[in-house]
Structure 1
């Protein structure tokens, strides 16, 4: 394996921003992703796209081992009111994988980034949140 971080092997900030630009357009148009009404409400407003692209780019840079630049909230807080289930998570993960393939990301980097995405499943779906009995 290379001594370079995944961030560097993906091409750094400009390449990651370019990939996120493609990805977010795909996510905003994806019927399965937007089947969740809370997600659709956010994606249904085109004015949200630039800010969302910025946050996903910054998050991706950090997650891939690049510089600290993500100013957003943590994944649990961001997703706690969206009621994302495994099906919704899988729909997003499929778009991430398809975008990486479309852009020609090599297999090793593709797998490494998808492993990062998968490592957030419990935080995004709420599977690791403590629940209080009713």
Structure 2
């Protein structure tokens, strides 16, 4: 029997979408992120929330070994105009890790997912184009 993918070990689409639901709610009220970066603050508004949850869910499903379903831009294109700092990336990663803890994701899967997040740092952090 082959080893299960991270997607399967996380519980599949329903569990991932539940975690993303919590995460995006947390990001939308994170004052550090919203007060430091106007681009982030402009994006963290109610009309974008459902779409943001959908995109993050689809991205998370795909990068964890689930079905190909992400229809968004690559991470560089999606973030290049935000001018995100290392600190803002760290704050976001902290929210992701805490969300995984709060929804009961085991340590091994949390660490594996956080390794994926960290692998995108160079595509997400940078000066606004």
Measured against the shorter chain, the TM-score band is over 0.9
Could you tell me which residue of structure 1 aligns to residue 38 of structure 2? 37
Instruction: Provide the residue aligned with 2:98 in structure 1.
Output: 98
In the alignment, the residues of structure 2 paired with residue 74 and residue 46 of structure 1 have an alpha-carbon distance, to the nearest angstrom, of 23
Structure (1/2) with the larger helix percentage: 2
Say what the alpha-carbon RMSD is for the aligned residues.
Answer: 1.4
Q: What is the Cα deviation at residue 91 of structure 1? A: 0.7
| Residue of structure 2 in register with 1:85 after alignment | 85
Counterpart CA distance in 2 for 1:33 and 1:93 is: 11
2:110 alignment partner in structure 1: 110
Deviation >4 Å, runs of 4+: none
- Contact 1:76–1:126 at 8 Å: present in 2 too? no
1:59-118 Cα deviation digits (max 9, x unpaired):
000111101000000000010000001000001000000000001110100000000000
Does 2:86 match 1:50?
Answer: no
Worse-superposed segment, 102-111 or 29-38: 29-38
Question: SS at the partner of 2:31?
Answer: coil
SS at match of 2:22: helix
TM-superposed deviation, 1:58: 0.2
Within 2, Cα distance between the matches of 1:7 and 1:32?
Answer: 30
